[in-house]
Amino acid sequence: MDSAAEIDRCLESFFAGRLPFDRLVIALKSLRAAGDQHGAIPERLQYWVDLGRLPVDLQALICTELGLSSRQATQDVLDEPTVPLAGRPAPAPQAPAVALPTGQAMPIGQAMPTGQAMPTGQAMRDRVDEVIVDALIGNFTGLRGRGRGDKSPRDDAALDANLADFRSLRFRRDASNAEAGRARRFELDPRQETRAIGIGTMLKDRFILDSEIGRGGMGTVYSAVDRRRLEAMHRQPYVAIKLLSGDFRRHPDALRTIEAEARKAQDLAHPNIVTVHDFERDGQHPFIVMELLDGVPLDVLLAKTPGKPPPPTMTDAIIRGLCAGLAHAHQCSVVHADIKPANIFVSLQHTVKLLDFGIASATRAGGFDPTTLGGLTLPYASPGMIEGAAREPCDDVYGLACVVYLILSGHHPFSGASAVAARDQRLTAQRPAGLSDQAWTVLAGALAFDPALRPVDAGAFQRAFYGTPPLAG
């Protein structure tokens, strides 16, 4: 076995980000155990130091881990990174440049005074990451700097490999920092392509948009073929894709919150809540993948008989399903924040599904008026939501009460006025015909502008409302 070549291979893998520091040490220990007791390892480490690729503090650390002695191992020095990481100021050159194997020159930082303690723990892990990033950038700039006429397929392959290694390292480091509470802000790259999306478009090389089934301020909903389901011969190869409005590209904070809310919705397994499969992004186009439903939104259903409620059997099924789904969400500490007829889907079997959890609060997190992107519907929003108060389950109860009143009577309780306008004008809702005394008392309390007078959550509303039959006679 050529020990020098094997040591170089291990170090190259380390600098490419493919071999963690602890596994590098294990690999070098294995080489020692295989017969390289005192020769090649310290010599090759020193060779890499002389090249300017391996900082002396890491050389000393490796020697310590291997139980080797080195003329640098006892100096306890810490030099600056050869190439600064993004967001850090570049160090002033302190020494002559040293030619790297790629042909590029890279300055060597000045060593810290002798006696400085070697960094440990997180500081050393950050130092190891910097060494790998420096090496990847050095390899990239070397390959990038060659003229087109001199490039070969091998050069292109090496460039692609280095770029892939660099991206992999960045994301692994970002994940590690996020776990430690040092998450980095990500922004959508404005340089990414902005192709038009429509029928026939394939997203993420997987979802083929088949037909448009809905459109609103937040975006457009399509039925789409899921290639993975199709290839697996699934009986239902279709899913619903909600392609969010392009305006969200200007509000990354809102986009991140919508993604977080979509992740929460994935955990809300309930027959009356739409199943959210995933939150994805194709270039600058964010979208939510959901189950495909067969039916119509409640607002479309009610528009078929304007001013009149649905038949009693359908009315009862819709109200019960709506209460059950929202009560489950509240039990899981999730607030919908935008209860309205358009976000309530009624299947052909009169099963209710709640859609779009957390959209209103997500838009508010972006620092702009949620009504501008359809994230808040004034006739169904509580006074607290309109005035920017923290969202609470009782805010959902207000929207729920408005929808229940609409279903029972065919009209909005305040003729479509916002809660703030209705409060300021001292408007009152009239009792729907046929509603029992207890059910009306509960419904009127849920329509209160003062949150303290409403049921605390949908479960409390459901229990009180159904204490007696909801419809008299």
Evaluate whether residue 191 is within a structural domain. Answer: no
**Distances from the Cα of 473 to the Cα of 312, 436, 469, 470, angstroms:** 11, 9, 9, 10
Mean pLDDT of the chain: 76
Evaluate whether residue 196 is within a structural domain. Answer: no
Say what the pLDDT of residue 243 is: 87
Say what the pLDDT of residue 142 is: 57
Q: What is the per-residue pLDDT across 98-128, written as a single tens digit (0 to 9) for each?
A: 333 333 333 333 333 344 444 455 666 666 7
Evaluate whether residue 185 is within a structural domain. Answer: no
- Are 272 and 152 in the same domain? no
Q: What is the per-residue pLDDT across 317-343, written as a single tens digit (0 to 9) for each?
A: 999 999 999 999 999 888 888 899 989
Q: Which of 129-143, 193-207, 374-388, 433-447 has the highest mean pLDDT?
A: 433-447
- Are 352 and 427 in the same domain? yes
Say what the pLDDT of residue 282 is: 86
Q: Which of 2-11, 85-94, 96-105, 241-250 has the highest mean pLDDT?
A: 2-11
Assess whether pLDDT exceeds 70 at residue 152.
no
103: burial class by Cβ within 10 Å (0-12, 13-18, 19+)? exposed
Our measurement of the distance from residue 453's CA atom to the centroid of its chain's CA atoms, rounded to an integer in Å, reads: 36
Say what the pLDDT of residue 215 is: 79
- Are 111 and 222 in the same domain? no
Evaluate whether residue 193 is within a structural domain. Answer: no
Evaluate whether residue 192 is within a structural domain. Answer: no
**Structural domain for 72, as ranges:** 3-179
Quick one: average pLDDT of 381-385?
A: 92
> Which residue, of 144, 179, 214, is where some domain finishes?
179
- Are 217 and 279 in the same domain? yes
What is the number of structural domains in the chain? 2
- Are 113 and 242 in the same domain? no
- Are 153 and 228 in the same domain? no
Evaluate whether residue 186 is within a structural domain. Answer: no
- By the 8 A CB rule, do 197 and 160 touch? no
Query: Which of the four pLDDT bands, split at 50, 70 and 90, describes residue 64?
Result: confident
> Which residue, of 128, 148, 179, is where some domain finishes?
179
Active-site choice (338, 356, 395, 396)? 338
CATH assignment at residue 383: 1.10.510.10
- Are 173 and 268 in the same domain? no
- Are 152 and 269 in the same domain? no
Q: What is the per-residue pLDDT across 274-324, written as a single tens digit (0 to 9) for each?
A: 988 888 888 778 888 999 998 999 999 999 888 888 888 899 999 999 999
Evaluate whether residue 353 is within a structural domain. Answer: yes
Count of residues making up the chain:
473
Quick one: average pLDDT of 237-246?
A: 86
Question: Does 370 or 286 have the greater pLDDT score?
Answer: 286
Residue 262, token pair as written in the block: 């979509």
**Nearest CA to 395 among 341, 318, 457, 453?**
457
- Are 168 and 207 in the same domain? no
- Are 455 and 354 in the same domain? yes
- Are 230 and 287 in the same domain? yes
Query: Which of the four pLDDT bands, split at 50, 70 and 90, describes residue 345?
Result: very high
Q: What is the per-residue pLDDT across 12-59, written as a single tens digit (0 to 9) for each?
A: 888 777 777 878 888 888 888 877 655 678 888 888 888 777 877 788
Q: What percent of the chain has pLDDT over 70?
A: 64
- By the 8 A CB rule, do 135 and 53 touch? yes
Q: What is the per-residue pLDDT across 197-207, written as a single tens digit (0 to 9) for each?
A: 888 899 998 99
Question: Does 165 or 73 have the greater pLDDT score?
Answer: 165
Q: Is 338 a catalytic residue?
A: yes
- Are 173 and 221 in the same domain? no
Say what the pLDDT of residue 246 is: 65
Evaluate whether residue 197 is within a structural domain. Answer: no
Q: How far apart, in whole angstroms, are the C-alpha atoms of residue 93 and residue 110?
A: 8
Q: How far apart, in whole angstroms, are the C-alpha atoms of residue 113 and residue 63?
A: 20
